[in-house]
């Protein structure tokens, strides 16, 4: 058996074909020793190793052995069962990582949008529990400024007048501040601020329209509205609280085989999510 190059395993009725070198990634594991030792849990039947264990969970074991990573789907919940399987196969480094459920379980993410109208201007402030999400949202929002003729903030944007993009105010990594609308200037000229939110390419000046687009963008990104309230009736500040359960599309656990030190990294998404 030690001369095998290709090994076939039947685990819980599911068939797996792999290289012997893959099973020997961790020489002290039960899977590696299976090729040499007589283990009662691994029956050799018609050239295949029969194992009476969970075949679906074993697919994650095989993925780990092939890549030295384990990528769990977003709806995965059998951490303890997978940890038990890893221990059965003698993959104790993997079992140790799986025991750190705080690194693997979904996280509740909170976002708060504060919106106020003052005459012909609208002010927005967004607070988020996850600085990464706030940063990504800041990359989607652009404020443009320019001179506008007319007396209404509903006046259409004139493409003949150049608009200058303004940087968003970032008081901290967890919040964003910006405004839109018009501010009275000399004569019939107004300083106008337009807001664009990717992937929508419109430049909106009406605060209510911007609020609607902002909330719609967040809904498409998985947030749902929890509550609305009036923070200040005098200043007319409305607060929209949103939540979502967030887990990376592929949470990847990388294990340093030599030192036994584990770390967790965010897997790169192969596709750009809708709404971003």
The dihedral formed by the CA atoms of 57, 266, 215 and 153, expressed in degrees to the nearest 10: -160
Contact partners, residue 123, CB within 8 Å, separation at least 6: 115, 116, 177, 178, 179, 207
CA angle 222, 225, 226 (to 5 degrees): 125
Distance CA 210, CA 216 (A): 10
Q: Which residue has the tokens 């989607």?
A: 140
Helices (H), the chain: 20-23, 30-34, 55-67, 79-88, 92-98, 131-140, 207-220
Q: Mean per-residue pLDDT for 148-173? A: 70
The percent of residues above 70 in pLDDT, for the chain, comes to 78
Q: Which domains can be identified in the chain, with CATH numbers? A: 6-103 (3.30.710.10), 108-150+159-246 (3.30.1410.10)
State if pTM tops 0.85. Answer: no
CA angle 89, 90, 95 (to 5 degrees): 95
pLDDT at 272 over 70: no
pLDDT at 260 over 50: no
Q: What is the pLDDT of residues 233-249, one digit of tens each?
A: 677 899 999 999 876 54
91 has which bridge partners?
none
Contact 183, 120 (CB under 8 A): yes
Instruction: Verify cis geometry, omega within 30 degrees of 0, for the bond prior to 186.
Output: no
Distance CA 208, CA 122 (A): 8
Of 31-45, 126-140, 244-258, the range with the lowest mean pLDDT is 244-258
The pLDDT, as a whole number, for residue 255 is: 57
pLDDT at 266 over 50: no
More confident position, 203 or 190? 203
pLDDT at 251 over 60: no
Q: What is the pLDDT of residues 63-91, one digit of tens each?
A: 999 988 877 776 788 889 999 999 999 99
Dig out the tokens for 175 from the structure: 């919040």
115 has which bridge partners?
124, 238
**Average model confidence (pLDDT) across the chain:** 82
Contact partners, residue 239, CB within 8 Å, separation at least 6: 112, 113, 114, 115, 228, 229, 230, 231
């Amino acid at each position: 058996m030690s001369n095998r190059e290709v090994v076939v395993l039947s685990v819980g009725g599911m068939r797996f074909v792999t290289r012997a070198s893959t099973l020997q990634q961790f020489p002290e594991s039960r899977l590696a020793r299976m090729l040499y030792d007589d283990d009662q849990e691994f029956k050799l039947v018609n050239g295949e190793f029969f194992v009476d264990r969970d075949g679906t969970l074993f697919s994650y074991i095989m993925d780990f052995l092939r890549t030295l990573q384990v990528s769990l789907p977003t709806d995965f919940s059998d951490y303890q069962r997978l940890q038990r399987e890893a221990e059965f196969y003698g993959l104790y480094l993997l079992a140790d990582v799986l025991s750190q459920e705080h690194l693997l379980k979904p996280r509740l993410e909170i976002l708060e949008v504060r919106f106020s109208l003052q005459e012909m201007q609208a002010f927005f402030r967004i607070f988020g529990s996850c600085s990464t999400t706030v940063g990504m949202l800041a990359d989607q929002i652009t404020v443009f400024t320019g001179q506008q003729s007319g007396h209404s903030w509903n006046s259409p944007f004139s493409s003949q007048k150049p608009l200058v993009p303004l940087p968003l105010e970032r008081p901290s990594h967890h919040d964003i501040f910006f405004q839109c609308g018009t501010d009275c200037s000399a004569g019939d000229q107004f300083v106008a601020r337009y807001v664009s939110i990717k992937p929508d390419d419109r430049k909106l000046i009406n605060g209510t329209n911007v609020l609607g687009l902002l909330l719609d963008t967040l809904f498409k990104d998985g947030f749902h509205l929890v509550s609305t309230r009036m923070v200040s009736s005098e200043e007319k500040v409305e607060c929209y609280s949103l939540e979502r359960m967030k887990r990376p599309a592929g949470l990847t656990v990388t294990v340093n085989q030599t030192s036994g030190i584990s770390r967790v990294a965010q897997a790169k998404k192969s596709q750009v999510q809708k709404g971003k």
